[in-house]
Amino acid sequence: MTGGARVFDEPLHVGRPNVGDRARLRERIDGALDRLWFTNNGPLVREFEERVAELAGTRHCVAVSNATTGIQVAAKAVGIGIGDEVIVPSFTWVATPHALDWIGAVPVFCDVDEATGTADVAHVEKLIGPRTRGILGVHVFGHPCRIDELTALADRHGIPLLFDAAHALGCTYRGKPIGGFGAAEIFSFQATKFVNSFEGGAIVTDDDELADRARAMRHQGLNPDHEITGSGTVARMHEISAAMGLTSLEAADTFTEVNRRNHRLYEEELSDVPGIRVRRQAAGELTNCQYVVIEVDAPRAGLDRDTLNSVLHRHNVLARPYFSPGCHDSEPYRSDPARHAPDPLPRTEALTRRVLSLPTGMAVGPAEVAGVCAVIREAVSAARSGAADGILIPTA
């Protein structure tokens, strides 16, 4: 590795799609083409729903076109509407609050707790007011929220609790699969998620009536008898998406093994790099390890997250500062803090300055992990020795 030379000729991405068995995918797509059944609750969608419900351990799975509309449908299905406040962490992908904002609900941002990166329960409680009509927790990077405490809090106040489980397929909380908590949980199968259906999502729940409402709402308000039962949208999953979703699910164990191996390798290789720490997975739980997130402690590392990120990019390692800025610092929320962020969010702000997601998934093997870690190690070493401004990497 010499001064200006790139460590990787081809870019290494965060969230590069995992592809399962192509032959199975093509077979399934051919089946849909032969059946001339492309959408509207087709056989592949129903099979996909069964598989996801099994994994989540829930009675129902309602497949949808993406998690963003899934959150909207689930929120409407629990009665959240225009002007209703929903408490949500700011440390998440902006889809979480946008989904609420787009249906006229008002996201109110809570801080996160340091260890889990998820909603700070005491702060959620403090934010509950007369207009609060829901709590939307996020199992960020697959780390479960403090579910028991949030459930008790929501019950005490008689407000529905939903979970954005976009990162948490195949993860557990106290040994039980994510999916069966709160009123409903929402998965994403977007192409960058470790199991994907090109685009897609699912609402999982044990509540029969909620599932019926969600099924109708995703399909213009139609019930199974084709009666219009109320207002709705189009949030259906189509057969090609389900074909990919099923094929991807079949390979989920392999994807997870690779992600776990990569996570372990990153942890090992970075363990002695000062100021760099790989964020921990939930102790004692199953996790999909689909994100490798490091925290950069700038005073110790001698360089900040953004500097390290630009060094990595120069070497074709397309790391991502997920999730930065916090949602409360993004439009439209940032322009109306009185409405969306009534309290300061110091832990969120500290976290958003430190985090950086590194490439993993099927396109990343041990050699790539070693290369990425070498860049990080040398950048930190150069920055700490004052040999460079943290931008230049010295000859190895």
Ligand X SMILES: *Cc1c(COP(=O)(O)O)cnc(C)c1O
Binding site residues, ligand X, CB under 6 A: 66-68, 92-93, 95-96, 138, 164, 166-167, 188, 190, 201
Nearest Cα neighbor of 361 from 185, 166, 113, 193 is 193
For ligand X, the closer of residues 67 and 159 by Cβ is: 67
* Residue number with CB closer to ligand X (190 or 259): 190
What's the min distance (Å) between Cβ of 134 and ligand X? 16
For residue 303, give the nearest of 266, 267, 275 by alpha carbon. 275
C-alpha distances (whole Å) from 125 to each of 52, 109, 129, 139, 155 are 32, 12, 9, 18, 12
Residue 166 Cβ vs ligand X, minimum distance, rounded to whole Å? 3
For residue 328, the minimal CB distance to ligand X (Å) is 15
Nearer to ligand X, 188 or 205 (CB): 188
Q: Report how far residue 112's alpha carbon sits from residue 329's, in angstroms, rounded to the nearest whole number.
A: 15
Greatest CA separation found in the chain?
Answer: 72
Q: How far is the CB of 129 from ligand X (least distance, A)?
A: 25
Q: Which of 239, 217, 241 is nearest to 228 (CA)?
A: 217
Q: Distance between CA 281 and CA 182 in Å, rounded?
A: 22
Provide the minimum distance between the beta carbon of 138 and ligand X in the complex, in angstroms, as a whole number: 5
In the chain, the amino acid numbered 374 is A
Q: Nearer to ligand X by C-beta: 166 or 289? A: 166
Compute the least distance from the CB of residue 235 to ligand X, in Å.
10
Beta carbon nearer to ligand X, 72 or 262: 72
Q: C-beta of 204: minimal distance to ligand X in Å?
A: 14
Q: Smaller CB distance to ligand X: residue 138 or 311?
A: 138
Of the two residues 95 and 249, which places its CB atom closer to ligand X in the complex? Answer: 95
